[in-house]
Structure formats: structure tokens, C-alpha cells
């Protein structure tokens, strides 16, 4: 999966290189650190390696790897910069934990909650990502879900979706008998992406980007705290 995501990321940078030139000095292709030919080579090698590494886990995992790669490429080459840019996030992010657990064995019952919750999280991150590029997309004449909704409504929607994700993690931990310490850990992890929403509301694109990154990292922490507890039959921490 790391290799597949590297391929998707390289393709994304390659596709965006003309628009990024002069606007995103941190990107490697526009500033000349990486040539387009090298980026294309990285993408090809990464996709090939990712698919090859999935083979030992069986045909179901290989099929899922192909689907994940296809979703990423659909975003890179077609849906990015449109009002449907959120869809690959909503569909692709829930497949990441499925890919991991399917490769290791059977999916636990909690995935009936994890998958739709991950879809909500992916949609929220996609809206936040569109908010980061609001001015650039408007100047380039491209569409996005943030432009379609308007900045205020897009922010409210994405913040509300993040709240639902945090609530689902905390609620299932409590329902499954999580100890007080586990509830505190999940709640604290849930506050991290919610803190990122404050930055995403900024008028400064750089601060919005930092907020989006904080949301992404925070959701990863929340998922780890959630699934390390009773959701997957993890050890119960000592109660008070």
C-alpha cells in the first residue's frame, strides 16, 4: 500500500506540475528538484512494486490493490479540480483498513462501523483539501466541492463530518465496554483533527494547509486509538 500511494502521489505531482509552477514552491517538479520523466518513472515502478507485493496475499488482495490504484488515478487524472473531487477520498480511504486486515486474515465485525465511518472521514478530508486550494482553483477556473458549496458552508460541513467520526469512535468504545482510560485516549485523539478545523477556517492558504495536515494526522491517531481498544478485542485497560 505504501508503494501504491507513492505511485498515486507521483502521478498527482506530475499532473499538477504546470499549475503548481509559481504557486507551490515546495513541490519538487516545479522547482526543478525532480524532472517529469523521473516522476513518471517513480510512478511506474511504485505501481508495479505495489501490485507485485500484493500477490502473495492472494487474488482478493490483488484485486483490491488494483481498485485502490484505479481510484487514485481517477482522482489524479480526472476528478481533481471538479465538484466530484471528494468521491475518491470517500471511496478510497475506507478501503485502506480493509486492505490491511484482508491481507492479514478475516475482517472483524467492527468493520461494519469502520468502513462507513472511514467514508465520512474521507469526505471531510477531501472538502478540507478543496478549501486549501480555494483561491488557486478559483483563479484557474477549476471547480471544486468548496467552490460549489461556498467556503463557509464547506467548512461547516467538513467540521460536522469530523465530529461524526470522533463521535462514532468514542461511542463504540463506550458501547463495547472500554475502560475509562481508553475513553480518555480516544477522546483526546479525536480532539486533534477537530483542532485542525480551526486552522482550515483561516483566510491564509498556508494555515489552511497546516490545518488539513493536522486533520489527516489526527484521524490516523484517532483510528489507531479506536482500533487498539475493545473495537478489535484489544486488551482492556485498568479502570479507575
Q: Which domains does the chain have, with CATH numbers?
A: 1-80 (no CATH), 82-240 (1.20.120.1780)
DSSP state of 57: G
N-terminal to C-terminal alpha carbon distance within the chain: 39
Residue 240: which of 189, 179, 184, 186 has the closest Cα?
179
Coil, helix or strand at residue 51: helix
Q: Which of 13, 212, 11 is nearest to 121 (CA)?
A: 212
Long-range contacts of 175-180 (CB under 8 A, 24+ apart): 176/229, 176/230, 176/231, 177/230, 177/236, 178/229, 178/230, 178/236, 178/237, 179/236, 179/237, 179/238, 179/239, 180/239, 180/240
Give the pLDDT score at 240: 42
C-alpha cell at 45: 515502478
Instruction: Indicate the DSSP class of residue 203.
Output: S
Instruction: Inform me whether the pLDDT recorded for 187 exceeds 60.
Output: yes
Is residue 29's pLDDT more than 90? no
HSE-CB at 86 with a 13 A cutoff on CA atoms is 25
Q: pTM of the entire structure?
A: 0.79
Asked if residue 154 lies in contact with residue 125, where contact means CB atoms within 8 angstroms, the answer is no
Between residues 25 and 238, the one the model is more confident about: 25
Instruction: Quick: pLDDT tens for 76-105.
Output: 999 987 889 889 989 998 998 899 888 888
On the CB side of 34, how many CA atoms lie within 13 Å of its CA?
A: 18
pLDDT single digits (tens) 201-214: 999 989 999 999 99
Closest CA to 19 of 146, 109, 137, 107: 137
Residue 235 per-residue DSSP state: P
Using the predicted structure, report yes or no on whether residue 72 has a pLDDT greater than 60: yes
DSSP string for 96-145: HHHHHHHHHSPPPTTHHHHHHHHHHHHHHHHHHHHHHTHHHHHHHT---H
51/1 Cα distance (integer angstroms): 9
Question: Average pLDDT for residues 21-41, to the nearest whole number?
Answer: 83
- What region does 32 belong to: left with phi over 0, alpha with psi -120 to 50, or beta? left
How far, in Å, CA of 20 to CA of 119, rounded? 28
Amino acid at each position: 500500500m505504501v508503494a501504491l500511494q507513492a505511485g498515486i502521489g507521483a502521478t498527482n505531482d506530475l499532473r499538477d506540475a504546470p499549475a503548481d509552477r509559481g504557486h507551490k514552491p515546495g513541490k519538487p517538479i516545479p522547482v526543478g528538484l525532480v524532472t517529469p520523466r523521473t516522476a513518471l518513472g517513480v510512478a511506474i515502478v511504485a505501481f508495479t512494486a505495489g501490485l507485485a507485493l500484493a500477490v502473495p496475499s492472494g487474488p482478493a488482495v490483488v484485486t483490491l490493490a488494483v481498485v485502490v490504484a484505479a481510484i487514485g488515478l481517477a482522482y489524479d487524472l480526472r476528478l481533481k479540480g471538479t465538484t466530484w473531487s471528494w468521491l475518491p477520498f470517500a471511496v478510497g480511504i475506507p478501503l485502506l483498513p480493509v486492505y490491511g486486515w484482508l491481507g492479514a486474515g478475516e475482517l472483524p465485525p467492527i468493520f461494519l462501523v469502520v468502513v462507513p465511518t472511514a467514508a465520512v472521514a474521507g469526505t471531510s478530508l477531501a472538502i478540507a483539501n478543496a478549501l486549501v486550494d480555494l483561491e488557486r482553483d478559483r483563479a484557474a477556473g477549476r471547480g471544486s466541492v468548496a467552490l460549489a458549496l461556498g467556503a463557509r458552508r464547506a467548512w461547516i460541513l467538513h467540521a460536522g463530518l469530523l465530529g461524526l467520526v470522533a463521535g462514532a469512535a468514542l461511542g463504540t468504545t463506550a458501547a463495547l465496554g472500554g475502560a475509562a482510560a481508553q475513553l480518555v485516549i480516544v477522546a483526546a485523539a479525536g480532539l486533534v483533527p477537530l483542532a485542525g478545523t480551526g486552522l482550515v477556517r483561516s483566510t491564509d492558504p498556508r494555515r489552511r494547509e497546516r490545518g488539513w495536515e493536522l486533520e489527516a494526522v489526527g484521524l490516523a491517531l484517532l483510528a489507531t486509538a479506536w482500533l487498539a481498544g475493545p473495537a478489535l478485542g484489544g486488551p482492556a485497560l485498568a479502570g479507575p
